Structure 1
Amino acid sequence: MKTIRRWMRVRNAVGAGVVVLAGLHAAGAAASEANEHGHENEAVKHVLLISFDGLHEQDVARCIGSNSCPNLALLAKAGTTYTNAHTPGLSDSFPGLAALVTGGSPKSAGLFYDVSYDRTLYAPSDTSCTGKQGWNVVFDETTGIDGENGGALKNLNGGGAFNPQAIPNALINGVCTPVYPHNYVKTNTIFEVVKQNVKGARTAWADKHAWGYDWLNGPSGTGVDDLSRTEINSIDPATNSAYTDVYTHTEKFDDLHVRSLIYEIEGKDSTGKPGAGVPTVFGGNFQTLSIAQKALVTKGGGYLDASFTPGPQVTAAITYLDGALGRIVSELKQQGLYSSTAIIVTAKHGQSPTDHSKLVKVGDTLTALLEANNYLDPNGNFGQANTTTGNLNDGTGLVNTGFVQTDDVGLIWLRDQSQLSAVVKTLKDNLSCNAPGICADGPQAYILYGPQIADRFGDPARGRTPDIIVQPNPGVIYTSSKSKDEEHGGNAPDDNHLGLVVYVPGAHHAGKTVDERVLTTQVAPTVLRLLDVDPDLLHSVATEGTRTLPGFNREHF
């Protein structure tokens, strides 16, 4: 096992000798006794990572200050709270989670959105890789077999297999090869590294899409021993609706993840089958807060003002999630694992705009402008927007058409990359919020392209990176939806400024607050550091030079 031997021994230790991991562990124990993973005097044997999607730093500060999240407050009191944590440039679920588990931004991980585009890929039906390249990659609820031919999402486990119509192909060493989500991610994950470098390690995770999140396995395809197959968009037979219709229904879905985590803490697998063993690295995603934030303000969703005063739904969602956290921590204590388990509470992304007065729903003016100028098909015949059957992700979408993904950001893959300059000029000529403008005329708006986008997100010529990223004014959502008032995906302040609380058993500086700006990419190397594994074994960490969180840096060892 490749471990880090940077322990500092305390001089004049009382008794049999105490080994201290400076800045992290103050665990009094008899020296030179190896733990179950072969580490000497290691306090942390397990790391639990929890993502409460939508959790802003301001939510954490408010609920702790108002005594409305007592369980999170207890973790913060015993741990470290980072008040200036941000996503690495994009805040959709895929790049947000990739930051936490790979240590990389989209530049190295290659994940920009769960619905994106890759110029190098062939259609799922092109099993010989002889046709056109350029495929609209969709790894979401339709990635499960239930989504085949546009079928109803009737099973919680997505149907128990991949939808072959959702799996594109790539020409690799002359062989036409299917690209599953775990092949699509470009870097390894903490799950793979821990399994490969900690003796007897076990890994587990639970997320919102049963098959789209297969990428957590990493390129090996085997990083997560127990990947809970739960699909949030499946039809709940008790209500005949998806779990996303209202936040109280989402609580029922999130309860499934609480149950899985409790089973795992008890040494079972996520379904309750005994004998699996407690995972070394495990965790899950929770959606209740995100759904409550998106709900219409007129219906009690979102926030009441610019100070992040939660509306009734957000208040209730935070109460629910804090209770869920309490149940999980209580189980750790009951099983005697609290003193050996580090707990990290954060989010993949925030939600924007929290200040309802800034909300601007302009419709998808960005796509409309591109279509009107023939940069994309004027009739919308591109990618998954045009299938033979009319069913999304059924494998019959058009190839080599370019693609646009919009929410509170715009990701543009051009049909013809030679048109870049013309497209940028058209966008800049239409920055206002007046039709056909794209509402990107404010000081916090920008358009990334050319060397700037290559430096930050990778070279578009390689196929994966968008040619242009449009960040509109904060508060703008490219939608006319009458069912949501907030979204995520971009780099607006409310998207990327997240809550981050790290509890490490026996830490020196309990209750510490760190105001230094950090990125959520720093969580992944910190997880490895806690387990005494070299963070540079993560390819993204080595490539991007990602540091551990302050207090966990190399100089502290």
Structure 2
Amino acid sequence: MNLRLKAGIVAALCTSFALVACGGSDNGSPPPNAIAGAQHVLLVSIDGLHQQDLANCIAAKTCPSIAALANNGVTYSNAFTPGLSDSFPGLAALLTGGSPKSAGLFYDVSYDRTLFAPADTQCTGAQGWNVVFDETTGIDAMNGGDLTHLDGGGAFNPQAIPNAKVNGVCTPVFPHNYLKTNTVFEVVKQQMANARTAWADKHAWGYDWVNGPSGKGVDDLARTEINSIDPATNTDYTDVYTHTETFDNFHVQAILNQIDGKDSTGKTSVGVPTVFGTNFQTLSVAQKAPNADGGGYTDAQFTPGPQVAAAIAYADGAIGKMVAELKAKSLFSSTVVIVTSKHGQSPADHTKLVKNGDTLAALLEASNFLDSKGNIGQAATKSGRLNDGSGLVGTGFVQDDDVGLIWLRDQSQMASAVATLQANLGCTATGICADGSQASILSGAALAAKFGDPAQGRTPDIIVQPNPGVIYTSSKAKDAEHGGNAPDDSHLGLLVAYPGLQAATNATTVSTTQVAPTILKSLKLDPNALQSVAAEGTQVLPGLGF
């Protein structure tokens, strides 16, 4: 065949059918709408950012910086958390590519039947410890002390660190040891010469787990504690959303410093991180604020109230500063920017709010599945504050917000406990308010398949998902919560932006676990180097030309 004619036929076929053989990643040339040549990834998590928040603010032109990213990005309209929406499993999804089943994080306050108390340094006593890796993980909280330093006191609180037998040796379990699988930070450092990593979050020492099991994944982990006392106000940074902005500004400045090639403090020149990012809390605080005070939303369509509107504008402005600095340093064209969230907030529709009190724990206590007087784990400390080292061992535990995670004192009582819960489903003074079509009581084989085997010690025995809108609290200080799998706390905003991408909305149902392998793929690294990705078969996000 005439070579010129043959070439014309091949070109026509390529144009008509977009054959792989004509180009694309198989011959080294990326497709026209793809992430190619990325050298950095900036991950921004905005606690509470629902998919509806993202869509509404772009449509209303109230988040111009995010909208500008979306002009060169893929917006995922059906992104969801992997079954639980507390900050720990939410961030673990983004950084490990796994659900609680593989990563092992269910809540920042949880329980593990295999662990020994912090004071039991020989691992000879009873097992079953109420693990608390929150603001009290910093040394300021030792002996129930006040949280007086922004950096949590500059070290771990030894009373917060339980012990485990590892190869027959009694060994401290720091937060990074508690995470069961590796993180994107560890993989990047292992697979890329001279790579640098950085992260900033809300708890100075509780978020040590982002380092991964090696304990060394993050080169620059900003130690900032949102519950520390601000000397300017004598309150912590969560009292009102405008004060939370002050805290989040520490993280904005950390990112700007890192874009400039310095560490988070701005004091030392170290080079721009390969993977870095931060978390914002302002929106979450505004969403939780009482509806009567302007918190939350005004209707079921996620129309923001005054506080939420201002918080979204704040987050957008913060992202705008980061993008402007990336451009100023000629880094924007080589940086993938991912905007998403660890969790949403429930309920958005205030008419669905039901504050049911602590009925779940009360029912379990009254039925003798937990101590009848509430002497449970770290609720029974000498100082009355968590993590003073005097909590009780082997008590079982309940963690409840808009979900109920139940670790029974005696696992042989599981069938009886489930029967008791099922007999009290109504929204009564003693009921658990789980009688609707979207409520569930998960246990047994179904729970093990989704979250792992409770017999191994970490997974709850029972997970109660109450009716959407139910919060197990009587608090007047908040009208929304998260932690479970209600529609409003599990359906999140997710945007992946890069100059090589064309604006698109992808309606494929995806999980936030897919962010982690996407980060690695963007840098031409192997996503399966993430242990959770390999274990759960997590895929990269679609529509990015990989």
For Structure 1 versus Structure 2, the TM-score category normalised by the shorter chain is over 0.9
Residue 375 (1) aligns with residue 369 (2):
yes
Q: 1:486 aligns with which of 480, 483, 504?
A: 480
Structure 2 equivalent of residue 513 of structure 1: 505
Residue 91 (1) aligns with residue 70 (2):
no
Q: Matched residue of 1:323: which SS? A: helix
CA distance in 2, matches of 1:11, 1:48: 29
Q: Matched residue of 2:337: which SS? A: strand
Q: Deviations over 1:407-459 (max 9, x none)?
A: 00000000000000000000000000012100000000000000010000000
- Checking the alignment, whether the CA contact within 8 Å between 1:25 and 1:505 is kept in structure 2 is no
CA distance in 1, matches of 2:398, 2:140: 26
**Aligned AA (1:138):** V
- Checking the alignment, whether the CA contact within 8 Å between 2:297 and 2:305 is kept in structure 1 is yes
CA distance in 2, matches of 1:169, 1:267: 38
What's the % identity of the aligned pairs?
A: 70
Residue 143 (1) aligns with residue 152 (2):
no
Structure 1 equivalent of residue 179 of structure 2: 185
Structure 1 equivalent of residue 537 of structure 2: 545
Shift of 1:19: 5.5
Shift of 1:318: 0.4
CA distance in 1, matches of 2:464, 2:421: 9
**Aligned AA (2:538):** T
Q: Matched residue of 2:406: which SS? A: strand
**Aligned AA (1:20):** S
**Aligned AA (2:541):** L
- Checking the alignment, whether the CA contact within 8 Å between 2:506 and 2:543 is kept in structure 1 is no
Residue 303 (1) aligns with residue 294 (2):
no
Structure 2 equivalent of residue 159 of structure 1: 153
Q: 1:324 aligns with which of 314, 318, 325?
A: 318
CA distance in 2, matches of 1:407, 1:199: 43
Q: Deviations over 1:380-418 (max 9, x none)?
A: 011011012322111110000000000000000000000
Q: Deviations over 1:42-68 (max 9, x none)?
A: 510000000000000000111000000
Structure 1 equivalent of residue 233 of structure 2: 239
Q: CA RMSD in A?
A: 1.3
Q: 1:504 aligns with which of 498, 504, 517?
A: 498
- Checking the alignment, whether the CA contact within 8 Å between 2:129 and 2:162 is kept in structure 1 is yes
**More displaced 10-residue stretch of structure 1: 387-396 or 339-348:** 387-396
- Checking the alignment, whether the CA contact within 8 Å between 1:202 and 1:225 is kept in structure 2 is yes
Structure 2 equivalent of residue 37 of structure 1: none
Shift of 1:504: 2.0
- Checking the alignment, whether the CA contact within 8 Å between 2:41 and 2:275 is kept in structure 1 is yes
CA distance in 2, matches of 1:219, 1:375: 34
**Aligned AA (1:22):** P
Structure 2 equivalent of residue 133 of structure 1: 127
Residue 533 (1) aligns with residue 513 (2):
no
Structure 1 equivalent of residue 64 of structure 2: 70
TM-score, normalising length: structure 2: 0.95
Residue 315 (1) aligns with residue 324 (2):
no
CA distance in 2, matches of 1:166, 1:67: 45
CA distance in 2, matches of 1:440, 1:25: 45
CA distance in 1, matches of 2:67, 2:384: 49
- Checking the alignment, whether the CA contact within 8 Å between 2:47 and 2:284 is kept in structure 1 is yes
- Checking the alignment, whether the CA contact within 8 Å between 2:288 and 2:480 is kept in structure 1 is yes
Q: Matched residue of 1:235: which SS? A: coil
- Checking the alignment, whether the CA contact within 8 Å between 2:23 and 2:31 is kept in structure 1 is no
- Checking the alignment, whether the CA contact within 8 Å between 1:9 and 1:20 is kept in structure 2 is no
- Checking the alignment, whether the CA contact within 8 Å between 1:192 and 1:224 is kept in structure 2 is yes
Distance 1:321 1:378, change over 3 A: same
Residue 121 (1) aligns with residue 121 (2):
no
Q: Deviations over 1:241-297 (max 9, x none)?
A: 100000000000000000000000000000002321000000000000000000000
CA distance in 2, matches of 1:278, 1:450: 48
**Aligned AA (2:153):** G
CA distance in 2, matches of 1:57, 1:173: 45
Structure 2 equivalent of residue 431 of structure 1: 425
- Checking the alignment, whether the CA contact within 8 Å between 1:44 and 1:505 is kept in structure 2 is no
CA distance in 2, matches of 1:10, 1:111: 45
TM-score, normalising length: structure 1: 0.93
Q: Matched residue of 1:378: which SS? A: coil
- Checking the alignment, whether the CA contact within 8 Å between 1:408 and 1:478 is kept in structure 2 is yes
Mark the runs of 5 or more structure 1 residues left unpaired by the alignment.
1-7, 13-17, 27-41
- Checking the alignment, whether the CA contact within 8 Å between 1:23 and 1:551 is kept in structure 2 is no
